[in-house]
Chains A and B, each alone.
Chain A
Amino acid sequence: MSLPHPVLASFGGAIEFIFTPQNSNVTGGNKVGGFDKSLELVLKHLEVTVIALAIALIVALPLGLYLGHRRKGELFAVGIGNAGRAIPELAVIALVAVLVGVGLKTVAPALAILGIAPILVNTYVGVSQVDPAAVEAARGMGMSELDIMRKVELPLSVPTVMGGVRAAAIVIIATATIAPLAGVETLGDFIINNNVYGKNGLLAGAILVALLALTIEGLLALLQNRLTSDGLKLKTV
């Protein structure tokens, strides 16, 4: 029975670190961690995630919608998707930090690059798989091509598109954890500068990042549910 005890103690120490500042052996008497610091890092993590996801959406959603609507560029969209999965996140952050510079202005676009591929592919696939009969009907009713995209194809492909958005959010939150390497103090600060924060900080960072990712993912799942029309839900039970 002695095995689980040190493990539980580690988690206890980490949770204490999140709420109350702890002694550190490198800051010369200054305490580290605590609730204010944790909150500050959570907010920074959220900020960079939201900005990056917004950039990715602005780039990938219209492009995927257009290509899917014209049913053109399948090789391009799928190729981007496959190549996107193979890009090592660490290398992207490192290259941006070393070549372009550090800070939110360079990190957010770099994270956005990682989010573009899943949104683009899923939007393309979702829109191009919309029943052609529905599109023809809309065209017959006199809808413009833009209206068809906005009012027919996009609503019908919400589940697939949102799948891409959620995948993008996951990769962006995960990669934002290493953003401190490029000068943005996210929750990864507790992990990467663990010589300052110690083992409690390391585990505290991991707990907070995991909770943040699960919360965002849960909220996006709710949003997807709200955006999906009731008619579609019947079919996909």
Chain B
Amino acid sequence: MASPFLIAAGEVGGDFFHERSSGTLPCQAQSSHLFCWDWARENIDRYGTPTVQHLEIVLLSVVIGFVVAFALALIAHRTRWLQPPLLTATGVLYTIPSIAFFFLLLPVTGFGRDTAIIVLSVYTLQIIYRNTMLGLANVPDSAKDAARGMGFTDRQILWRVELPLAIPEIIAGLRIAVVSTIAIATLVVFIGAGGLGTQIYGSGNLTFPTSIVIAMAIVMGMAFLFDLGLLTVQRLTTPWRRVRAL
């Protein structure tokens, strides 16, 4: 299926970088060899398309998860009796191991990317929902009273006082969600959705160490960059909390 965006980057590949040696490289032949530089240099272009697939799946999952979890949190914020059942429900969904979840959905949504995105976005619900509720609960009553005294309506208090003050917790939740989704997304290879997992476990077999190490490094590097990016967003959006944000 052609991806709706990032298509240009996805097409980097083929003979773009190097021609591959025919046959097996000396260091590739030793199975105990952790890293084969020669192979890495020749084959790094193989990782272009899987990386883009991985990124697309992660971004779509987190965006969908965030929208749903944020909406649930806003509803639960007004309708307090919904809070315990929502926490339990998202917790139960989070407990089901991802591979099991993929195949539980198999009869309904089939193989491929849709199933992967549904499962990964469901996983983000718990952490984003819980942190958003925590952030809203941590808003000092005095701030809300002050806003009410200035004539703010409930809606204005929510959007202009409570939510901005809850940004650190919301982004903390988002960071955890993004980082763990990037890691878990390696498993979508089992449901046929591609991604960097294909470079670890491809066509029914484990690949060799160099390929696994490269895929792992890309996954962890991606997680690190997104974590750093979100931390920066948090700093920029909460200038009043420069002192310490962990």
Binding site for B on A (CB under 8 A): 6-7, 10-11, 78, 82-83, 85-91, 94-95, 97-99, 170, 173-174, 177-178, 181, 188, 191-192, 199, 202-203, 205-207, 209-210, 213-214, 217
Contacts and interface: CB of A to CB of B under 8 A. Distances in A.
A202 B97 contact: no
A217 B137 CA distance: 27
B100 A206 contact: yes
B107 A214 contact: no
Contact of B186 (A88, A209, A213): A88
B97 A213 contact: yes
B246 interface: yes
A179 B114 CA distance: 25
27 contacts: A6-B107, A78-B246, A86-B179, A86-B220, A87-B220, A88-B196, A88-B220, A89-B183, A90-B186, A90-B189, A91-B186, A91-B213, A91-B219, A94-B201, A95-B216, A98-B209, A98-B212, A99-B32, A178-B187, A181-B201, A181-B206, A207-B100, A209-B100, A210-B104, A213-B95, A213-B97, A217-B95
Contacts of A173: 97
B221 to A, nearest CB: 9
B31 A98 contact: yes
Interface string B65-109: 000000000000000000000000000101111111111101110
A183 to B, nearest CB: 11
Contacts, number: 128
A103 to B, nearest CB: 15
Interface in B170-219: 176, 179-180, 182-184, 186-187, 189-190, 196-197, 200-201, 206-209, 212-213, 215-216, 219
A170 B207 contact: no
Given A7-B108, A202-B103, A210-B104, A94 B200 contact: yes
Query: What 7 A-B pairs have minimum CB-CB distances, sorted nearest first?
Result: A174-B97, A206-B103, A86-B223, A10-B107, A209-B100, A91-B216, A88-B186
A82 B227 contact: yes
A202 B107 CA distance: 11
Interface centre among B92, B103, B216 (most CB of A within 10 A): B103
B245 interface: no
Contact of B206 (A85, A98, A210): A98
B34 interface: yes
Contacts of B176: 85
A94 B209 CA distance: 8
A86 B217 CA distance: 10
B107 A11 contact: yes
B224 interface: yes
Nearest to A190: B103
A214 B183 contact: no
